[in-house]
Amino acid sequence: MNPKLTLRDKKKEATAYALSEAAFELALEKGMDSFIVDDIVQKAGFSRRTFANYFSCKEEAVAEYFIGSVTNEDDKILLAGLAPDATPLDALYKLLKLQFTSEFLHKLQQFVLLANQYPSLEPYILSVFRRLQVTAQEVLEQFSHGRYADGYTHLLAGAVYGAFVPLLDGRLNVMLPGEAQGEDSDAISFDQYLNSMFTYLRNGF
């Protein structure tokens, strides 16, 4: 897992986050075609040179808003309470419940919808989900202590995180936490979707 961050590291992370948050808010307010890097740095209170130290373009800054939000949880906290006979799927389920909070899911959905509208953002969706998968793989490796093949943890993480894309872009009729079900809607809740997905993984398709 990542070593403990120094004060300098924390300051750099805070700067990157402030720039990326400003970029994301501008993308939601104006659309990707209606703001430039100068608008981002003015909103965040930094210089254009500072922006260039962190990002190559405004699309990368928007994506970093989500990538930077994905942190590696402390293994002892994350895996506490798991039964002695818990499986990698049990550990992955607990990680997902911690990662995909209501706030994070709604913001991630906004990002996916933005990417559908502005193709320049599409490549960065993969970066966000890649970071989520890498975090999951690191946790599973810590949990398994070599009891499972490396390919198994990669397969699990890829299958699970890949299943969230059609949920977030609206291809699946799933209500995110906090959303109200319409009178004629046959949508299922996020928890139902998550539980059924893990049932498939445990029992086979």
* pLDDT tens-digit series, residues 172-196: 888 888 777 665 578 888 889 999 9
Mean local confidence (pLDDT), 69-84: 64
The CATH topology of domain 1-65 is Arc Repressor Mutant, subunit A (1.10.10)
pLDDT of 1 reads: 46
**pLDDT one-digit tens code per residue, 127-159:** 788 888 888 888 888 888 778 877 888 888 888
Mean of the pLDDT values across residues 54-71? 84
114-121: long-range pairs with CB below 8 Å, 24+? 114/27, 114/28, 114/32, 114/62, 116/169, 117/31, 117/32, 118/31, 118/32, 118/33, 120/32, 120/59, 121/32, 121/59, 121/62, 121/63
**Predicted confidence band at 30 (pLDDT cuts at 50, 70, 90)?**
very high
| DSSP line for 152-203 | HHHHHHHHHHHTTHHHHTTSS-EEPTTPPPPTT--PEEHHHHHHHHHHHHHH
pTM: 0.74
Query: What is residue 171's predicted lDDT score, i.e. its pLDDT?
Result: 84
Is residue 6 scored above 80 in pLDDT? yes
